[in-house]
Structure 1
Amino acid sequence: MEEEKGRHRSSVFFTFMILSTISLRSSHAADTLPAGQSIHDGQTLISASQTFELGFFSPPNSSNRYVGIWYHKLSPRTIVWVGNRERPIPNISGFLTIDAQGTLMILDKIGTSIVIASSTGNTNLTSATLLDSGNLVLKQWNSSQDEQPLWQSFDHPTDTFLPRMKLGLDGKRNRLLTSWRSSDDPGPGDFSAGIDPNGTKQFFLWYKGEVQWQSGVWNGTSFGLINRMTGGRYNISYTPHWIDGYYYYTLGDSSVITRGVMEVLGQFKQYIWLESEEEWVVLWVQPKKLPCEVPATCGANGLCSTSHDNSTNCRCMYGFVPASYQRWRSNDWSAGCMRRTPTDCERDGFFSLTSVKLPIFSSREGNSSLSLEDCKSSCGRDCSCTAFAAAYANGTGCLFWSGGLLGLQDGTQDLYVRLAASDLSQDSGKKKNSQRDYSFSSHCSYSDMDN
């Protein structure tokens, strides 16, 4: 075993000696690294329009070296992608190269070998190009001189979301943004952002794998996060796919420099560069550290609202009561609410809950020919279905929920919740009053709003 490791180290060292002598021959900065050539620490690639730059860097208060991409003309340096975030080079001996097998990799003088991307084709025709979008693309030329992309950094993001970068499913792999471990360490941190892989078409933030915030369901034209992102300046485009769904955005003004970042402390921030001030300014941020933006704050079947003084109120939906009155009296709402009357499926009905942000973890029937009555009929036949809503802004398509409803708060959509027939048959005036209450006044009750 030790002999095999020794042979591997020798092979890597031999490769290092050969490739380290072959640098980019051009006297000016290039945007492409051809096979067999190298970029040493201190050298860079610069995209064709001099928008982005690729090379080695060290974070603040660190001597470790990383391969990264940053804005070429902006100061201070702003990193948008890191190629070896989990395996830094401890000194300046590293270099980036495409080896004899067409593999984009980092080598150094002590035998470190870090593979970034691999090729399986004619390796003599393989190259890596830094585009003006900030995307690093490994590609090869075939016999017809056509480019064939093999790999791109946009499919392997770190913490930064650039225009035209796609988030969401790539086959079975979910393309996510993951925060740095700290401002001095670009290793993967505790927070991630991306599209819900369960097909609900929501933008989620996770903390150690647990959902901390959701944007609300995409309805065919917008969701909550995008409403905050437009601001009259952006031309946002979302391309929905049911099985292989992804999300990206474009800019209405190509001169605007903007980026989204999954921050170390758990917030997703959209920045814009102000040339006149030579600094980044935050356009918007989510979550805003308000408890209602964390789905579990009011527990299952709990409604969360925020008063004008930013205090948080949790209430139970019509037909539900606190699962633990004692905990609710001490403002611990995490146990949520339970049904006042058990359902029996055959005689159940649905209560209309208006002006809410829909719960997380729905399933979808995206057929736009389905009406709200179709949704009601389908949910009614399924005894495990606890609620339904329209999937699109025009009232078509269906969203279904089973089990407890998590993440309800003030919003603009309507949700239809399964209730026992006895609850639905109560005085209609009470139901109307409770429905008005569910548009979230600033008053809080720890019991059913109907009592």
Structure 2
Amino acid sequence: MNLQVFVMGFFQPGNSSNYYIGMWYKQVSPQTVVWVANRKKRVSDIFSSELRISDGNLVLFNESKIPIWSTDLNSTGSSASVRAVLHDSGNVVLNDESNSSEPSWQNFDHPAHTWLPDVKISYNKITKKQQRLTLWKNSENPAPGLFSLELDISDNSYILLWNMSRRYWTSGSWNGRTFSKPRFCP
């Protein structure tokens, strides 16, 4: 059953004249954006910009046809067999139809600023990549702002960081049932 909970497309944050590719709730007003692809690079003209599958990746080309955001997969699949699907959960999944058992890429592995159900804020020991939620710079600019939430792998706590480096708050260690001592950090 397809409930069409989310919409994905170009949007303008606040009173900005810039455009971004994002995802928002279909039936929530005002528009509530929950994920942004090109947070660091804006688009000025949506009529000559394009989001498409190229070389097995989902790629955003700006008005000059320069790629400004991509899923950055080392894909060997042809673009003809790759599909992007927006699920009702808010997960955008890129699949190679010739091998669709596992997604090639999904935005749930690349959260932006909103913690949706089924998104895991974690640390990948193989790739050494930290997943984090990062606030917008301001209401008109979705570029990464000053506060972020991530997992501290040393004690399985969540930490709120200021400027990606200074601890601002911690949930305390996870003991399997609860977090030990949530507190603000000095």
TM-score after normalising by structure 1: 0.38
Larger radius of gyration: 1
Is 1:159 matched up with 2:113?
yes
Aligned with residue 45 of structure 2, among 70, 91, 101: 91
Partners of 1:115 and 1:84 in 2: CA distance: 6
For the 8 Å contact 2:14–2:140, the answer to whether it is kept is yes
Letter in 1 for 2:34: V
Partners of 1:50 and 1:84 in 2: CA distance: 23
Task: Give me the identity figure in percent.
Answer: 38
Q: Specify whether residues 117 and 192 from structure 1 end up closer, same or farther in structure 2 by C-alpha distance, changes over 3 A only.
A: same
Partners of 2:185 and 2:32 in 1: CA distance: 32
Is 1:64 matched up with 2:64?
no
Which residue in 2 is equivalent to 1:222?
A: 178
For the 8 Å contact 2:44–2:63, the answer to whether it is kept is no
Is 1:181 matched up with 2:71?
no
Letter in 1 for 2:157: Q
Which residue in 2 is equivalent to 1:206?
A: 161
Which residue in 2 is equivalent to 1:138?
A: 94
Which residue in 2 is equivalent to 1:122?
A: 77
Partners of 1:48 and 1:116 in 2: CA distance: 27
Residues 344-403 of structure 1: per-residue CA shift (max 9 Å, x gap): xxxxxxxxxxxxxxxxxxxxxxxxxxxxxxxxxxxxxxxxxxxxxxxxxxxxxxxxxxxx
- How far does residue 73 in structure 1 lie from its aligned partner after superposition? 1.2
Which residue in 1 is equivalent to 2:9?
A: 55
More helix by share: 1
Residues 164-214 of structure 1: per-residue CA shift (max 9 Å, x gap): 10001123111000110011110011111021133x011110001111111
CA-based RMSD of the aligned residues comes to 1.9
Three-state SS of the structure 2 residue aligned to 1:147 is: coil
Aligned with residue 147 of structure 2, among 191, 200, 206: 191
Is 1:150 matched up with 2:150?
no
- How far does residue 294 in structure 1 lie from its aligned partner after superposition? 2.2
Three-state SS of the structure 2 residue aligned to 1:161 is: coil
Partners of 1:146 and 1:108 in 2: CA distance: 29
- Structure of greater relative contact order (alpha carbons < 8 Å, 6+ residues apart): 2
Letter in 2 for 1:117: T
Which residue in 2 is equivalent to 1:436?
A: none
Aligned with residue 76 of structure 1, among 30, 34, 38: 30
Q: Specify whether residues 217 and 80 from structure 1 end up closer, same or farther in structure 2 by C-alpha distance, changes over 3 A only.
A: same
Three-state SS of the structure 2 residue aligned to 1:121 is: coil
For the 8 Å contact 1:66–1:84, the answer to whether it is kept is yes
More strand by share: 2
- How far does residue 63 in structure 1 lie from its aligned partner after superposition? 0.8
Three-state SS of the structure 2 residue aligned to 1:221 is: coil
For the 8 Å contact 2:133–2:149, the answer to whether it is kept is yes
List, as ranges, runs of 4+ consecutive aligned residues in structure 1 with deviation greater than 3 Å. Answer: 145-148
Three-state SS of the structure 2 residue aligned to 1:154 is: helix
Partners of 2:72 and 2:172 in 1: CA distance: 38
Partners of 1:64 and 1:182 in 2: CA distance: 13
Which residue in 2 is equivalent to 1:103?
A: 57
- How far does residue 90 in structure 1 lie from its aligned partner after superposition? 1.3
Residues 227-252 of structure 1: per-residue CA shift (max 9 Å, x gap): xxxxxxxxxxxxxxxxxxxxxxxxxx
Letter in 1 for 2:37: G
- How far does residue 118 in structure 1 lie from its aligned partner after superposition? 3.6
For the 8 Å contact 1:174–1:197, the answer to whether it is kept is no
Letter in 2 for 1:202: S
For the 8 Å contact 2:160–2:167, the answer to whether it is kept is yes
Residues 21-57 of structure 1: per-residue CA shift (max 9 Å, x gap): xxxxxxxxxxxxxxxxxxxxxxxxxx93111110000
- How far does residue 224 in structure 1 lie from its aligned partner after superposition? 5.9
Structure 2 unaligned spans of 5+: none
Residues 295-345 of structure 1: per-residue CA shift (max 9 Å, x gap): 21xxxxxxxxxxxxxxxxxxxxxxxxxxxxxxxxxxxxxxxxxxxxxxxxx
Partners of 1:134 and 1:174 in 2: CA distance: 21
- How far does residue 133 in structure 1 lie from its aligned partner after superposition? 0.8
**How many residues in Structure 1 have an aligned counterpart in Structure 2?**
180
Structure 1 unaligned spans of 5+: 1-46, 226-286, 288-292, 297-451
